[in-house]
Amino acid sequence: MSTHEVETPPDQVAQEAKVLTCSDGVVHGTREDRSGEALAELLTEHGFTVVERRVTEDGADPVAAALAEMTDGFAGLVVTTGGTGFAPRDQTPEGTRRVIERDAPGIAEAMRLRNPLGRLSRGVAGVRGRSIVVNTPGSTSGCVEQLGAVIDVLPHALRLLHDTDAAH
């Protein structure tokens, strides 16, 4: 190993992540994808390697299709931003529920508890195959705040999901 390489301790295996922005405005070019960028930065700061960023339209069908593609054969974290509110097109949780196989309600609950405005988020979290899917709000501060509430436990959750040696 050269002097510039850093060996990752076995209990801190590098984790991969993907970010899905659910927004008609971003898809149509009328809004910048600030929340997707902010999530990618936060994930990187916490040792995740962001291997994909994608944008899809609002609505349950486009979200479900994108999540199915992004989780197929992937062993990591998929974080969505947008579509968790009360507007008619805010259907990210409905699309997510179509693809996840098991709920992870404790993650979603912890995210909502971070801030009183979190109570307005309908986001869900769950497992599909070897991936954990987590919904965050579309606002830049909201998505970072909510993911920040659980980012410390996600590497351990992924190790458990991947059935690696994770001390309990």
- 134-158 pLDDT tens trace: 999 999 999 999 999 999 999 999 9
* pLDDT tier, 116 (very low <50, low <70, confident <90, very high otherwise): confident
> What pLDDT sits at residue 115?
85
Question: Taking a C-beta distance cutoff of 8 angstroms, is the pair 83, 22 a contact?
Answer: yes
Query: What is d(CA 111, CA 146) in angstroms, rounded to the nearest whole number?
Result: 5
Q: What stretch of H or E contains 118?
A: none
Instruction: Report CA dihedral (35, 63, 126, 21) to the nearest 10 degrees.
Output: -10
Phi, psi of 161 (to 5 degrees): -60, -40
Closest alpha carbon to 32 in 41, 20, 21, 45: 21
What is residue 129's DSSP assignment?
A: T
Entry pTM: 0.90
CB atoms within 10 A of CB 152: 9
What's the whole-number average pLDDT of the chain?
A: 91
Question: Cβ neighbours of residue 14 under 8 Å, at least 6 residues apart?
Answer: 8, 47, 48, 49
Phi, psi of 24 (to 5 degrees): -60, -40
How many whole angstroms from its chain centre is CA 156?
A: 15
Going from the N-terminus, what domains does the chain have, and what CATH number goes with each?
18-159 (3.40.980.10)
Q: Rounded mean pLDDT of 32-59?
A: 98
